[in-house]
Amino acid sequence: MQTDFTAAQLRDPAIREAADILGTCVHYGFCTNTCPTYVLSRDENESPRGRIDLIREMLESEAPPKAQTVAHLDSCLSCLSCMTTCAAKVDYAHLIDRARVHVERRHRRPLAERALRALLGFVLPRPRLFQVALALGRLGRPIQGLLPSRLRPVLAMIPERTQGRILAPQVFEAEGERRARVALLAGCAQQVLDGNINTATIRLLTRHGCEVVVAAGAGCCGSLTLHMGREEEAMAAAAANVRSWMRERRGEGLDAVIVNASGCGTTVKDYGHLLARTELAGEAREVAGIARDVTEFIAGIGLRPAAPERPRLRVTYHDACSMQHGQRVTRPPRDLLRAAGFEVVDVPEKHFCCGSAGTYNLLQPATAETLGGRKAGHIDSTAPDVVAAGNIGCLTQLRRYVGAPMAHTVELLDWATGGPLPPALAGVALQSRPAPQPEEAPAAAAAPAPNDDAGFW
Amino acid sequence: MAEAFFNEVAATIGAEWINRSEETLRRYGENTMPGGDRRPLGVVYPGSTAEVQAIVRAANRHGVALYPVSTGNNIGLGSRSAVHAGQVVLDLGRRMNRILEIDETLAFAVVEPGVSYQAMYDELVRRGDKFMVDVTSGPPQGGMLGNALDKGAGYGPYFDHFGFSCGMEVVLGNGEVLRTGDGALQGSELPNWHVSKYSFGPILDGLFAQSNFGIVTRMGIWLLPRPPAVRSFHFTYPDDDDLAEIVDICRALKLSNFVPTLLRVANDVYLCGSEHPSPDYSPGDRAPISEAGRRALREKDGLGAWTVSGAFYGPSMAALEPQIERVRAAFGKSGKATYIPHEEALGFHALQVAINACSGVPGVGELGLLKWRPGGGNLWFLPGTPMVGSIANECQRISRRIYAEHGMDYMIMNVCSARFARGLHVITFDRENPDENARANACYEALARAYAERGIFVGRAPLDYHALHMGQAMPAFRDSCTAIKAALDPAGVIAPGRYGIG
């Protein structure tokens, strides 16, 4: 794609980078077929290709972004399905992030919109504040009709029950001989929404010989604010994490930074880019280089054999977009679940987003609901005993629509290697599925060489 | 005229299923060919065969040309771009994307035009992964029906996508619906429609492959029971002229169907190009990749000038060991081939593409070819060769010379069956560079001429060259096509100009 930036604009390294990315788009259009908002609307401006054009126009212009452009950019899920399918390998992730920063700085949203975004950006990354907000939200439900319309979908998203557990900085010792020392990104909203994910992760890791550190000073990864265009806040969160984990790495050592929320994992693995133009650039790259999704890490060190008395359940595995498109981690969760003795099935149309997408389901509730229902229909069609996913956002979103119990992948792996039953399965009648029968191979015969066309048998 | 057409269509199917926005018209006109984009008049999204009939009748009444597309992923052959600017794109993929039936006893599916390989794969997996759909190595969102009608092919035993289709429903140019095969029987219960290819009367199905005589709205597609194990094999050869030996061995393996899949014989640039852009190319270059550049590519990726890939199907990986040993003996005779086993190939991007293709798993792995050079230009030249090594090498020499003369990089995969190999020639070029764009066009035309002089026709072609190729056909062939067009689409409303007809 040809661009028309001025020399002055290109002196800004962020614009320079955006211009380079824009130049790689050649409009093949493969992205459109896998973009959820395009498939739903068939509106070119609701496709990655259309948005790329809008971003070019917006960044080239000196004028404030047009409201229509902002609406089309806001409706992008950042699911990155387009990046998986793009033949030209356009770096859409960094382009849309840059566009969001530009919008945040140059566009004045309506008051209610600004207030909601500010509220989410401030509350969600702070677990204790979020815990209070959840309680207030539950109290506010009976009077939600009296609240501003933008707040109602937010209240509707609050789960009936949450099992929060906010972890203080501490060290969990390895069981048996220590094989690795890892930091766990304890996260922010996840700790409040489902504390058992971290607990199960820690059990799984320590059981596999890992010392697990919840490092002082580490907190939100910055993902939520980054995707809202609040770059400075995201960079501050990232910088705090980099400093914290590098202290550990330089101290007792750190073999990996473990992330069990794939949305966060995508961001942490990209810290090198986020902090590229800061004094922490080198350390950020180092942290990004040792960041691993928990399933990637366990697959690397090998899963301990599963406990035999557990029923063989059918697990429908949902690929979070950040896992399959952001991090391209698709095999380890499936391989581990199979190794743990589960029957693993895929979700039809698995490349499609479930509508969670960070704060998307709070800010774009109508599209999120359509996508949630669509995904749930596909999941239910596989008749699962339990649904597994590696991202708290997807779990929270899909629990509203899916009939079967849902658990984080690590909860199932923890259970399969000696941990307790995942809370989602408590009270559920579990029936074992038949195990596959291995084929017996015939003995290899001697192989005569072929002679001619007619006789190759 | 056009306004009256859109008004009538809006009244019939709803205005919300017509899109005439600036962005949509610009994008639907885009393609990757040298001839430029072609802006349509509008895009219409029918939801049923009855709606397609209504639209065709309206087009007849108002003299509007329609251009039907299924999913519009025909990159390198025309994308969604109409033959001429001002035609109305009939996008069947948006709403007519239902899998109408899957018969697990007789192993066939019935699909609408918008059903993609990925959607069919997902549905088959959901049903327990008992059946395999034959896939292309192109985009997973490509349409099965459109690919079959354009004589597209895959790599498994059911590689011939048109050949393994059975029974169609077609809206003719006059708005009438035709059912082919056993479907032609009057009535609504038609148990043989999608299982019998030889019903009473002429076989009309072939009229709708690469033609513009009607709009196919439903098609039966046969499915293969999924083998429990797929074990691939790969052999790489060092020299360009080794193609002759490879082709002769492949012929032997395929004539008896000892190898159930087709054999993909890809050159170095094709395989390496699916992994990364050309390391040799700079914008404006007028020279093809150098011999030194090719050597560097091969050394980097551990491949030779040609690599052949295929696969066996069986009850288990171990059970396939004897077949692997025999195929190793076949390719090992001359001592030139290096064997790459399945397990090793799994970790190699370009060979993983072959494994997926032979396993009926859609994937995006081969789309990387499109960025071999920047600028978004892409053409596919698709002639073939009889499965005779000496002729394959003769074709190779023709193609290499013409690519080099035009400063293009010779990138090809020969897909070998028993008697014929389709040569997937890729021309990737910078469409934004006028000189390179013109050279790509000249390259294609020179190839088309040279192959025709050698007596070899193309199997498929980019839209820009349909008229050229039809012009290469004998007059009686052209006249027959014209006469059939006049009979089935007398007002010429369906894709006039497509395949050089009408």
The dihedral sign for the CA sequence B493, B495, B501, B502: positive
Beta strand pairing status for B224-225 and B229-237? Answer: unpaired
Hey, is the C-beta of B399 within 8 angstroms of any chain A C-beta? no
Beta strand pairing status for B42-44 and B88-91? Answer: parallel
CA distance A9 to A16: 8
Give Cβ neighbours of residue A51 (< 8 Å, ≥ 6 apart): A45, A72, A73, A76, A96, A99
- In chain A, residues with a C-beta closer than 8 Å to the C-beta of B140 are 85
The structure tokens 């790969």 sit at: B234
DSSP A347: P
CA distance B137 to B135: 7
The pLDDT value recorded for residue A451 is 42
- List, in order of start, the domains of chain A with CATH numbers: 7-106 (1.10.1060.10), 111-157 (no CATH), 170-299 (3.40.50), 305-425 (3.40.50)
CA distances from B64 to A247, B17, B24 (A): 71, 17, 19
Q: What is the mean pLDDT of residues B32-50?
A: 97
The pLDDT value recorded for residue A434 is 84
Hey, is the C-beta of B16 within 8 angstroms of any chain A C-beta? no
CA distance B24 to B65: 18
Residue B462 has pLDDT above 80, yes or no: yes
- List, in order of start, the domains of chain B with CATH numbers: 2-94+491-500 (3.30.43.10), 99-225 (3.30.465.10), 229-461 (3.40.462.10)
**Tokens of residue A386, six digits:** 């339990």
B482 sits in the region (left: phi over 0; alpha: psi -120 to 50; else beta) called: alpha
The pLDDT value recorded for residue A348 is 95
**Tokens of residue B293, six digits:** 């550049």
Provide the pLDDT confidence category of residue A456 given band limits of 50, 70 and 90. Answer: very low
Show which of residues 420-449 on chain A sit within 8 Å of chain B, judged by CB atoms. Answer: 439-442, 444-445, 447-449
Q: How far is A133 from chain B (nearest CA, A)?
A: 40
Q: Which residue is closest to B274 within chain A, CA to CA?
A: A87
Q: Which of B32, B122, B258 sits opposite A348 (nearest CB)?
A: B122
Q: What is the pLDDT of residues B239-288, one digit of tens each?
A: 999 999 999 999 999 999 999 999 999 999 999 998 889 999 998 889 99
Burial degree of B149 (CB within 10 A; 0-12, 13-18, 19+)? buried
Instruction: Show the 3-state SS of A198-213.
Output: HHHHHHHHHHCCEEEE
Residue B340: strand pairing partners? B234
CA distance B396 to B394: 5
**Tokens of residue B294, six digits:** 């090719």
Residue B31 near residue B428, CB atoms below 8 Å: no
Residue type, B353: V
How many Cβ pairs closer than 8 A exist between chain A and B? 140
Contact A457 B256 (CB under 8 A): yes
Show which of residues 66-85 on chain A sit within 8 Å of chain B, judged by CB atoms. Answer: 84-85
- In chain A, residues with a C-beta closer than 8 Å to the C-beta of B318 are 441, 444
Q: How far is A9 from chain B (nearest CA, A)?
A: 23
Residue A407 near residue A399, CB atoms below 8 Å: no
Give Cβ neighbours of residue A172 (< 8 Å, ≥ 6 apart): A202, A205, A206, A211, A212, A213, A214
- In chain A, residues with a C-beta closer than 8 Å to the C-beta of B367 are 30, 85-87
The pLDDT value recorded for residue B498 is 97
DSSP A344: E
Cα B37 off chain centre by? 21
Residue B289 has pLDDT above 80, yes or no: yes
Q: What is the pLDDT of residues A27-47, one digit of tens each?
A: 999 999 999 999 999 999 999
Residue B368 near residue B276, CB atoms below 8 Å: yes
Hey, is the C-beta of B318 within 8 angstroms of any chain A C-beta? yes
Q: Name the 3-class secondary structure at A57.
A: helix
Q: What is the mean pLDDT of residues A419-438?
A: 86
The pLDDT value recorded for residue A454 is 36
The pLDDT value recorded for residue A321 is 97
The pLDDT value recorded for residue A57 is 96
Hey, is the C-beta of B248 within 8 angstroms of any chain A C-beta? no
CA distance B72 to B32: 13
Q: Which residue is closest to B228 within chain A, CA to CA?
A: A439
CA distances from B145 to B135, B179, B221, B460, B497 (A): 12, 15, 8, 15, 21
Hey, is the C-beta of B295 within 8 angstroms of any chain A C-beta? no
**Range B116-147 burial, b when 16+ CB lie within 10 A, else e:** bbbbbbbbbbbeeeebbbbbbbbbbbbbbbbb
The pLDDT value recorded for residue B283 is 87
Q: What is the mean pLDDT of residues B398-414?
A: 98
CA distance B168 to B110: 9
Contact A381 B126 (CB under 8 A): yes
CA distance B49 to B491: 20
B30 sits in the region (left: phi over 0; alpha: psi -120 to 50; else beta) called: beta
Residue B108: strand pairing partners? B103, B222
What is the complex's ipTM, to 2 decimals?
0.88
**Range B186-207 burial, b when 16+ CB lie within 10 A, else e:** eeeebeebbbebebeeeebbeb
Provide the pLDDT confidence category of residue A158 given band limits of 50, 70 and 90. Answer: confident
Q: What is the pLDDT of residues A5-18, one digit of tens each?
A: 999 999 999 999 99
Q: What is the pLDDT of residues A216-250, one digit of tens each?
A: 999 999 999 999 999 999 999 999 999 999 999 99
- Average confidence score pLDDT of chain B: 96
CA distance B392 to B400: 12
Among residues A192, A189, A193, A257, which one has the least CA distance to residue A224? A189
Give Cβ neighbours of residue A450 (< 8 Å, ≥ 6 apart): A456, B249, B252, B253, B258, B326, B329, B330
The pLDDT value recorded for residue A437 is 62
Contact A450 B75 (CB under 8 A): no
Q: What is the mean pLDDT of residues A408-420?
A: 96
Q: How far is B55 from chain A (nearest CA, A)?
A: 19
Q: Which residue is closest to A90 within chain B, CA to CA?
A: B371
- The number of residues in chain A equals 457
CA distance B433 to B444: 17
Show which of residues 344-373 on chain A sit within 8 Å of chain B, judged by CB atoms. Answer: 345-346, 348-351
Among residues B81, B67, B120, B80, which one has the least CA distance to residue B98? B120
| Dihedral (Cα; A33, A35, A37, A42), 10-degree rounding | -20
Residue B1 has pLDDT above 80, yes or no: no
- In chain B, residues with a C-beta closer than 8 Å to the C-beta of A433 are none
**Tokens of residue B394, six digits:** 């003769």
- In chain B, residues with a C-beta closer than 8 Å to the C-beta of A36 are none
**Please, where are the H alpha helices in B346-423?**
349-358, 389-405
CA distance B239 to B321: 28
Residue type, B501: I
CA distances from B128 to A290, A326, A383, B225 (A): 38, 28, 11, 11
The pLDDT value recorded for residue A450 is 42
The pLDDT value recorded for residue A307 is 65
The pLDDT value recorded for residue B313 is 96
Q: What is the mean pLDDT of residues B365-389?
A: 95
Q: How far is A51 from chain B (nearest CA, A)?
A: 11
Residue B378 has pLDDT above 90, yes or no: yes
The gap between the terminal CA atoms of chain A, to the nearest Å, is 54
Show which of residues 41-60 on chain A sit within 8 Å of chain B, judged by CB atoms. Answer: 42-45, 49-50, 53
The structure tokens 């960025």 sit at: B371
The kind and range of the H/E element at B44 are: strand B42-44
**Range A194-206 burial, b when 16+ CB lie within 10 A, else e:** bbbbbbbbbbbbb
Hey, is the C-beta of B251 within 8 angstroms of any chain A C-beta? yes
The pLDDT value recorded for residue A371 is 98
DSSP A149: G
The structure tokens 């890791």 sit at: A205
Contact B376 A88 (CB under 8 A): yes
A66 sits in the region (left: phi over 0; alpha: psi -120 to 50; else beta) called: beta
CA distance A75 to A98: 15
| Dihedral (Cα; A390, A395, A398, A402), 10-degree rounding | 90
Residue A154 has pLDDT above 90, yes or no: no
Residue B351 near residue B385, CB atoms below 8 Å: no
The kind and range of the H/E element at B172 are: strand B165-172
Question: In sequence order, what DSSP letters do the residues of A34-50 get, joined into one string?
Answer: H-HHHHHH--GGGSHHH
